[in-house]
Amino acid sequence: MSNEITVIDVNSTEITISAKTGKTGSLAKAIAFADRASRLDLSKRIYHSQLSNGMYRPFINDVLSSNLMPKAVSELVQTIVGVTGPADKAKLATVCEHAAAAVRVKESKARAANKDFALKGQNEFLFGLVQRILTDLQAPVVEAQ
C-alpha cells in the first residue's frame, strides 16, 4: 500500500500527494488527508493555473476574505474591485497592493512596539502569493518589434 498518489494532467505537470489513502486510491481522500507540504503545493499549483488563465476572481476573493487587511480596508477595496463578476489584472494588482501595504503597516506597528511580527497559516500562505504576484506584475515587459 503506497502513501503517494501521482496525478498527471494533460500538460504533463506532475503532482505527487503524500497521504495514506488505504486501498481506495481516492484522490479526494488523498487531498483531504495529505501532509501539509503536499496540500500547500497543490493549492499553489491551482492558484497558478487560475491566474495564468486569467481567472483572477477566486484569488481576489480569497485575499479579501482573509485577515491580511483590516476590515475597513478590505471593505474599501471591495468597493473598488467588487466581489463578483469578471476581474482583470488591474483589479488583481489593486488587491495585492492594498494587502501588501496593510501588512507593511502591521509590521511597522509591531516594530514600533518592539514586538515580533510574523504572519501565520493562511495569511502567510496568501501573502507569499501576493508578493510573488506583485513581483511578476512589476517585472518589465519587453515586446518584440
pLDDT in tens, 71-101: 999 999 999 999 899 899 999 999 999 999 9
- Judge whether residue 21 has pLDDT over 90: no
Contact by Cβ (8 Å): 95, 73: no
Q: What backbone torsions phi and psi does residue 8 show, to the nearest 5 degrees?
A: -120, 120
Choose among 121, 128, 131, 134: nearest CA to 36. Answer: 121
User: What pLDDT is recorded for position 40?
Assistant: 86
Choose among 34, 44, 35, 55: nearest CA to 13. Answer: 44
User: What pLDDT is recorded for position 41?
Assistant: 85
Contact by Cβ (8 Å): 16, 41: no
Q: What does the block give as the cell for 74? A: 478590505
Residue with more model confidence, 139 or 124: 124
Buried b (16+ CB within 10 A) or exposed e, 66-98: bebbeeebbeebbeebeeeeebeeebbbbbbeb
pTM: 0.76
User: What pLDDT is recorded for position 36?
Assistant: 84
User: What pLDDT is recorded for position 68?
Assistant: 94
Angle, helix 121-138 to helix 36-52, in steps of 10 degrees: 30
User: What pLDDT is recorded for position 10?
Assistant: 47
User: What pLDDT is recorded for position 88?
Assistant: 94
The pLDDT tens digits for 40-64 are 888 888 898 889 889 999 999 999 9
Q: Cα–chain-centroid distance for residue 21?
A: 26
